[in-house]
């Protein structure tokens, strides 16, 4: 088999890149190690930046997003029993975010890809990028047979635990990492959200986040310890803990319903440099991870795709390599700013096990300054809606 671009991973990165390439007439094949329904069973991000929405429009995959997504002009920070609205639109000249689940983004991209009869190979085992410094190809196993796909480029969209980054010689890559001493316990329930906008709560018992997937489906998170287990959390215990971390006027009106998804996600910051190795490119979680506090993970994957698509389109259409050569530095410049923002939001809003009294007072002063200074809240807002590509 031969293709122009072999994409490893059928998550949002791989699917979005595959769709943009297809729309530009550039042949591509996507390989994933699991089944399609496994990918659609994952519950992940919920907030899209405008840049991500524009890319989904360019990929002809935004019809349902505009019909069902919820445009949000602001969110609230809750602490000391009160909440403070961050007016995203007012502080950024009208920019907003779109609340629309990553699962639905993935579903829309898959549907678009299937309507164009583009090849996605699911349940491809032991996928490996090969000879990517010279004459790239990918091998994989399926139904007991080893297959080979020759290509011009390999794109690793296979997430943090994928094979692409691990196929790079250790001397050629530098990784930066910070592990946070807590996780997020997330819950999905078919019940109206407690508020029409998101609430990020800082409480001495820990962080909580009130989000949603629609006005009839809520997505909630509470900070939990790293050794906590989902089986330790009945729905009743979760709802009680969430109420305790919210200001009373929200806790009193919180509606509950049986959860149909509950999971714990660890939090880390991670960046691999560079993001290009000859004919191999790393995109999205394969190259970087951020704590979900700033709602950046999925959106960073989208901006990587933006930069890489520009490079691949220029290579095939204009026979120029300038934008491909600029991919890694351009993507990393935006990645590191989002990594900083996500670290800052996480540090400000969570309770760390070893927080000293002094550090706690600093966090409280930061929240007080943030909610009383237009300059400080503008800086928060412009990062939250997404810095320009
Ligand atoms: P993905 O991990 O989504 O996709 C990678 C794909 O590659 C998968 O389909 C996998 O099956 C496949 N793959 C892996 N190894 C392979 C191999 N060896 N061979 C072939 N295929 C392979 N972001 C937010 O913005 N907000 C959130 O609230 C949020 N919550 C999250 C919760 C969890 C539990 C996790 C893990 C992430 C969360 N994220 C969140 C971040 C998440 O949304 C990612 O940023 C997003 O999925 C990135 O998309 P991809 O880069 O496509 O990687
Ligand atoms: C979500 O809805 O899952 C979500 C929203 C905002 C975040 C993180 C997660 O910062």
SS3 (DSSP) at 137: strand
Classify residue 350: in a domain, yes or no. Answer: no
User: Residue 91 Cα, ligand 1 centroid: separation in angstroms?
Assistant: 31
Please name the helix (run of DSSP H) or strand (run of DSSP E) that holds residue 125, with its range, or none.
strand 125-130
Residues 321, 324, 330, 332, CA torsion sign = negative
pLDDT tens, residue by residue, 291-311: 999 999 999 999 999 999 999
Long-range contacts of 315-318 (CB under 8 A, 24+ apart): 316/4, 316/24, 316/26, 317/24
| Residue 315 lies in domain | 5-50+99-177+268-345
* Residue 171 CB partners (closer than 8 Å, separation 6+): none
Task: Choose the catalytic residue: 250, 262, 296, 363.
Answer: 296
Q: What does pLDDT average to over the chain?
A: 97
Do 301 and 13 meet the contact criterion of CB atoms below 8 Å apart?
A: yes
The answer as to whether 112 is a domain residue is yes
- Above 90 in pLDDT, residue 44? yes
CA of residue 199 to ligand 2 center, whole Å: 10
Q: Which atom of ligand 2 is nearest to the CA of 200?
A: 10
Q: Is the CB of 345 under 6 A from ligand 2?
A: no
pLDDT tens-digit series, residues 282-291 = 999 999 999 9
Domain membership of residue 307 (yes or no) is yes
Q: How far apart are CA 258 and CA 231, in angstroms?
A: 15
Does 165 contact ligand 2 (Cβ within 6 A)? no
Give how many domains the chain has, as a whole number. 1
Residue-wise pLDDT for 74-109, tens only, equals: 999 999 999 999 999 999 999 999 999 999 999 999
With a cut of 90, say whether residue 359 has pLDDT above it. Answer: no
Geometric angle at alpha carbon 137, from 135 and 138, rounded to 5°: 160
Per-residue exposure over 180-203, b if at least 16 CB sit within 10 Å of its own CB, e if not: bebbbbbbbbebbbbbebbbbbbb
Flag whether 380 is in a domain: no
Q: Which atom of ligand 1 is nearest to the CA of 263?
A: 34
Query: How confident is residue 114, by pLDDT bands cut at 50, 70 and 90?
Result: very high
Which atom in ligand 2 lies closest to the alpha carbon of residue 219?
Answer: 2
User: Domain of 172: which CATH number?
Assistant: 3.50.50.60
Please give the share of the chain, as a percent, with pLDDT higher than 70: 100
């Amino acid at each position: 088999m031969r293709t122009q671009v072999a994409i490893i991973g059928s998550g949002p990165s791989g699917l979005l890149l595959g769709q943009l390439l297809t729309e530009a007439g550039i042949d591509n094949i996507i390989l994933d190690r699991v089944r399609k329904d496994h990918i659609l069973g994952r519950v992940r991000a919920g907030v899209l930046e405008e840049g991500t929405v524009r890319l989904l429009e360019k990929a002809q995959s935004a019809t349902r997003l505009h019909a069902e997504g919820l445009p949000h002009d602001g969110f609230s920070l809750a602490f000391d029993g009160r909440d403070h609205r961050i007016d995203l639109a007012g502080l950024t000249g009208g920019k907003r975010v779109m609340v629309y689940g990553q699962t639905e983004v993935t579903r829309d991209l898959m549907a678009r890809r299937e309507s164009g009869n583009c090849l996605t190979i699911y349940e491809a085992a032991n996928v490996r990028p090969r000879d990517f410094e010279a004459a790239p190809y990918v091998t994989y196993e399926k139904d007991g047979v080893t297959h080979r796909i020759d290509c011009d480029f390999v794109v690793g969209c296979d997430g943090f635990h994928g094979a692409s980054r691990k196929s790079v010689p250790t001397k050629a890559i530098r990784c930066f990492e910070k592990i946070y001493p807590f996780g997020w316990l997330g819950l999905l329930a078919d019940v109206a959200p407690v508020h029409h906008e998101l609430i990020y709560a800082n409480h001495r018992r820990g962080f909580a986040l009130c989000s949603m997937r629609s006005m009839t489906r809520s997505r909630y998170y509470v900070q939990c310890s790293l050794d906590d287990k989902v089986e330790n959390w009945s729905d009743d215990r979760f709802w009680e803990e969430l109420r305790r971390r919210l200001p009373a006027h929200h806790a009193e009106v919180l509606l509950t319903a049986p959860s149909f998804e509950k999971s714990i996600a660890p939090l880390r910051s991670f960046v691999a440099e560079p993001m290009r190795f000859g004919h191999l490119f790393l995109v999205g979680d394969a190259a970087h991870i951020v704590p979900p506090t700033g709602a950046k993970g999925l959106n960073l994957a989208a901006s990587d795709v933006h930069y890489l698509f520009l490079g691949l389109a220029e290579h095939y259409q204009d026979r120029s390599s300038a934008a491909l050569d600029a991919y890694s530095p351009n993507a990393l410049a935006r990645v590191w700013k989002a990594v900083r923002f996500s670290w800052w939001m996480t540090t400000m809003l969570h309770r760390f096990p070893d927080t000293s009294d002094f550090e706690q007072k600093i966090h409280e002063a930061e929240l007080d300054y943030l909610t009383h200074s237009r300059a400080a809240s503008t800086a928060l807002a412009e990062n939250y809606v997404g810095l320009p590509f």
